[in-house]
């Protein structure tokens, strides 16, 4: 009798699928924040946003994010990431970017370009507080007349 085996294409497809799933999970594992001299960049997997310091209007700490409609994104365990729209603002096309690594900790709410909003925090609450302080300092520098 001949030996029946799985075709090598199926084995290759299975390995590629596992590699893609692990890499996507790794990309969304945490928020990758890059603060340069002129902007703050936040990347989490497929979602990214660049906030120029010159266009920053406000930086505040919030305990909870407001109720919103998810346009795309995901929630898993303590993470909330994606693009949302507020319930009260469902007639306009303004989206809110959410990059929350720990939903139970306070979040930083950025308002920039007059009305765009972004909520984010980092896994470590101390890093979030340090980021908040640095953003507050940037905002004060922008407001002070030189």
| Integer Cα distance of 47 and 67 in angstroms | 20
What values do phi and psi take at 10, rounded to 5? -65, -40
Residue 86 backbone zone (phi > 0: left; psi -120 to 50: alpha; other: beta): beta
Give the per-residue pLDDT at 19.
95
What values do phi and psi take at 14, rounded to 5? -65, -45
Give the per-residue pLDDT at 89.
55
Spatial contact of 54 and 38, defined as CB atoms under 8 Å apart: yes
| Integer Cα distance of 118 and 56 in angstroms | 11
Give the per-residue pLDDT at 5.
64
Query: Domain segments of the chain: what residues?
Result: 8-143
Positions in the chain whose pLDDT score sits under 70 = 1-6, 89-92, 145-146
Which is nearest to 40 in space by CA: 138, 146, 140, 124? 138
Write out the H or E segment, with its range, that includes residue 46: none
The one-character DSSP state at 59 is E
> Domain 8-143 classified CATH 2.30.29?
yes
Give the per-residue pLDDT at 27.
78
Give the per-residue pLDDT at 87.
76
- CB 53: neighbour CB atoms within 10 A? 17
């Amino acid at each position: 009798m001949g030996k029946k085996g799985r075709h090598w294409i199926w084995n290759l497809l299975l390995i590629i699928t596992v590699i893609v799933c692990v890499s996507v999970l790794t990309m969304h594992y945490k928020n990758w924040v890059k603060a340069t001299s002129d902007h703050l960049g936040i990347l989490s997997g497929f979602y990214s946003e660049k906030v120029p310091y010159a266009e920053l209007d406000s930086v505040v700490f919030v305990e909870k994010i407001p109720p919103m409609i998810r346009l795309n994104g995901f929630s898993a365990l303590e993470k909330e990431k994606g693009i949302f729209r507020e319930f009260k603002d469902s007639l306009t096309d303004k989206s809110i970017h959410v990059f929350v690594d720990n939903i139970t900790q306070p979040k930083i709410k950025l308002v920039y370009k007059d009305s765009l909003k972004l909520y984010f925090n980092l896994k470590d609450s101390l890093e979030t507080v340090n980021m908040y302080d640095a953003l507050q300092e940037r905002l004060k520098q922008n407001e002070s007349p030189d």
